[in-house]
A = this chain, B = another copy of it.
Amino acid sequence: MELDVSTDTVTLTEQLVNIPSESRDEQAIADAVEEALRGCGHLAVERHGHTLVARTELGRSERVVIAGHLDTVPANDNLPARRDQTHLHGLGSCDMKGGVGVALKVATTLARPVRDVTWIFYEAEEIEERHNGLRKLADHHPHLLAADFAILMEPSNAGVEAGCQGTMRIDVRTTGERAHSARSWMGSNAIHAAAPVLAILADLEPRRPVIDGLQYHDGLNAVFIRGGVAGNVVPDECVVEINYRFAPDRDEAAAEAWLREVFAGYDVTVTDTAPGALPGLGVPAAAAFVEAVGGEVNPKMGWTDVARFTALGIPAVNFGPGDPLLAHKQDERVPFEDIERCERLLRSWLGGGA
């Protein structure tokens, strides 16, 4: 499949949506993006796995990373893309091929930005953190992330979102003893033993802390449950996989301690974790971008790689088209207007014509 970067950015986004790219299946989209980038003489392009890094080398005094992930959550009967009068619909349209479309359009058409830019299109953001393309760059090629400021083009209603919530995954495991289900009183049912775990999840009222004037909203959700041996065997194990999203006033250690308290008496294993990021709007580079773009700043609920840059000491914000509340929903969509606004503001901030 080919991408036509000479077309308008909404159409480019539509082309990106129509290249399926569920996590771990990003070969085709990465190939197409790579081909588009390598067609540009002003970019130095590297590929690592299915992650692409394209840099301008203009010797500017400031360098900015502008990044977006190429993968999507699993399809839910929402491909191919379709349009109505105002929106592009389809898997990944909101999270985050709208942002990728904007970045790819500006990357390939703005040859001499006033700030040097490191454009990054990366793999595996939607799954366990160890697969994340940006994390792999940080581990193996950290010089590629060096910058004064970073923009993640995650959906944020074409405005600036600051900070982000942390995320932790745990397995809560109940155990029992197998027996023939015809004589179940000889065993102990591990699935039945998970009843109180689900009740805790169903009943819990999440925190809604205010930080730097921004209101966050925790979440504690079972994302998977599994148990069972055979249709006539009392099962001896049940695993509830839980995703905890926590406002950035809690660090990972505090989040884990709280989870262990909530599920006291159960076998709890942390399987994945990524810290949140405090809003950090006091940092000069962040303040300058906010001023250039204008508008209200909102808190970021979803974990994004903003937190990764924050941890590296690089100020970062989210700024991308689409309503983050629609991410991962079957009817996710992105307004044409958001795509156009993000492209215009980004191009202008980088010194291109409006």
Q: Give A residues with C-beta under 8 Å from B.
A: 23, 73-74, 76, 95, 126-128, 165, 167, 169, 178-187, 189, 191-195, 198-199, 201-202, 206, 217, 219-235, 238, 240-241, 243, 245, 272, 301-303, 324-325, 327-330
Assuming the contacts A185-B219, A202-B192, asked whether A232 and B73 have C-beta atoms less than 8 A apart, the reply is: yes
Determine the chain B residues whose CB is within 8 A of the CB of A324 once the complex forms: 180, 183
Which interface residue of A76, A181, A206, A224 has the most chain B CB atoms within 10 A?
A: A181
Which interface residue of A191, A194, A241 has the most chain B CB atoms within 10 A?
A: A191
CA distance A95 to B178 in the complex (A): 14
**Nearest CB of B to A126, in Å:** 6
Q: Is the CB of B222 within 8 A of A235?
A: yes
Q: Is the CB of B227 within 8 A of A181?
A: no
Q: Is the CB of A182 within 8 A of B165?
A: yes
Name 20 A/B residue pairs within 8 A (Cβ), A-sorted: A95-B180, A178-B328, A178-B329, A181-B245, A181-B328, A182-B301, A183-B301, A183-B325, A183-B327, A191-B201, A192-B198, A195-B199, A199-B199, A223-B228, A223-B235, A224-B228, A224-B235, A228-B241, A230-B328, A232-B243
CA distance A189 to B242 in the complex (A): 12
- In the complex this chain forms, how many copies of it are found? 2
Which interface residue of A184, A228, A231 has the most chain B CB atoms within 10 A?
A: A231
Q: Is the CB of B185 within 8 A of A217?
A: yes
CA distance A186 to B95 in the complex (A): 16
Q: Is the CB of A302 within 8 A of B227?
A: no
Q: Is the CB of B225 within 8 A of A227?
A: yes
